[in-house]
Amino acid sequence: MPSLSPAFPSRLPNVGTTVFTVMSALAAQHKAINLGQGFPDFACDPHLIAYVNKAMLDSHNQYPPMVGIPQLRHGIRDKIKNLYGHEYDADAEITVTAGGTQGILTAILCCVSPGDEVVIIEPAYDSYRPSIELAGGKVIAVSLTTIRDAQGQVSSYEIPWDQLAKVVNPKTRLIMINSPHNPTGMVWQKSDVDQLANLVRNTNALIVSDEVYEHMVYDGAQHESIARYPELVNRSFLISSFGKTYHVTGWKVGYVAAPAELMKEFRKVHQFNVFTVNTPMQYGLAQYLSESEHYLNLPQFYQAKRDFFKAGLEKTGFKLLPTPGTYFQCVDYSNIQSPQSKLNEGDFCSWLSTEIGVAAIPVSAFYENPVESGVVRFCFAKKEQTLTDALQRLERI
């Protein structure tokens, strides 16, 4: 039999199907409650749907401007200015994207040339590395410092500033940062951003700041957006996502803000990458964004879910890691019953899905060379009933 198509070398030989898809499929197969892949299982606000519906009925169904409709870009500008202080030029410095992930890929493609070094901090969101590799960049990974308590269980994480100082050099094109952090829920402090400013001050390194969980920072803390720091804004792509903020991950709409020189290059790639992002969603989101209470109330909304889920998990054998941000709760399972406590994180998640009936994500999947810490991630962006049902199953642990 002749082969159907000519063979060619893979551009991404080490990439398989993402862990989120794999774990969601496993959850569906075993009818497990899916606390793995990060997405809400509750409806978005019907007003938002009504706004999009109206836009469709009003004939906003053809191509929008390549960079996004002005109303939405103006709304994004105002939100960033009000929350973080920096005023981007809505015409030259903000582009609406098909979700945060496209914004990240496009930012990387527009500035990373073959051989350039790009620094990531692992565990890192799984799209970063392949995006850098597609651009021909060289991934330089450092690991978050894992802090353990007296019993040897993971208690928190810190940015490895010593390591970063060692790897940043004149070949460093880009540093990828992410706060609030997926998967650990860690949130950067002002001191972290100050350290970053010191690190890059005399370099040519640009920054991609993945802030898609910006409205999920809890306990009264503030989100340390890159847009609070004028010195860093000038070298940064700020990435955010309406899917996360408005419970519509399937709509795939986000945005990127960056100084004009960077945005000019970003748009060169964007226009041939997606060209435009769907029109009625943009109109609907523009109107909804003008009602600031929706994003201002989000920390309170998710903090209540976090606290509810945490209170239930306290009755299990898991050790809970702090969750200052995101809609993810990480747990250390190294003290639960044997032999499950000895499983690697991937196998533990398979066991959890098939035997307990709850899906989770192994934190090791966020590393190129899996680091096994005995920690898995649950998503608590779920209805109270879903969390209650999952907790009932997890009580067996």
Residue 20 is a binding residue for ligand GLN (CB under 6 A): yes
Q: With binding defined as CB under 6 A, does residue 41 bind ligand GLN?
A: no
The answer to whether residue 18 forms part of the interface with ligand GLN (CB under 6 A) is yes
> C-beta of 82: minimal distance to ligand GLN in Å?
26
Pick 37 or 153: Cβ nearer ligand GLN? 37
SS3 154: strand
* Contact by Cβ (8 Å): 270, 95: yes
For residues 109 and 91, the answer to whether their CB atoms sit within 8 Å is no
Q: Rounded CA gap, 236 and 218, in Å?
A: 25
Q: Which of residues 368-387 bind ligand GLN (CB under 6 A)?
A: none
Q: Does the footprint of ligand GLN cover residue 295 (CB under 6 A)? A: no
Residue found under tokens 């409709």: 69
Nearer to ligand GLN, 38 or 374 (CB): 38
Minimum CB distance to ligand GLN smaller for 68 or for 99: 99
Count of residues interacting with ligand GLN (CB under 6 A): 5
Q: Which of 22, 38, 218, 252 binds ligand GLN (CB under 6 A)?
A: 38
75 binds ligand GLN (CB under 6 A): no
Taking CB under 6 A as the criterion, the residue among 95, 106, 182, 209 binding ligand GLN is: 182
Between helix 384-394 and helix 298-313 the angle, nearest 10°, is 20
How far lies 335's CA from each of 282, 316, 349, 378, in Å? Answer: 48, 10, 16, 17
Instruction: Report if residue 131 touches ligand GLN, rule: CB under 6 A.
Output: no
Give CA–CA dist 390/85, Å, rounded. Answer: 41
- Asked if 123 and 368 count as a contact pair (C-beta separation under 8 A), the reply is no
153 binds ligand GLN (CB under 6 A): no
Least distance in Å: CB of 247 to ligand GLN?
13
Instruction: Select from 36, 41, 40, 11 the least CA-distant residue to 21.
Output: 36
**Token pair recorded at residue 277:** 């992002």
Residue 346 CB, shortest distance to ligand GLN, in Å, is 15
Chain residues in the site for ligand GLN (CB under 6 A):
18, 20, 37-38, 182
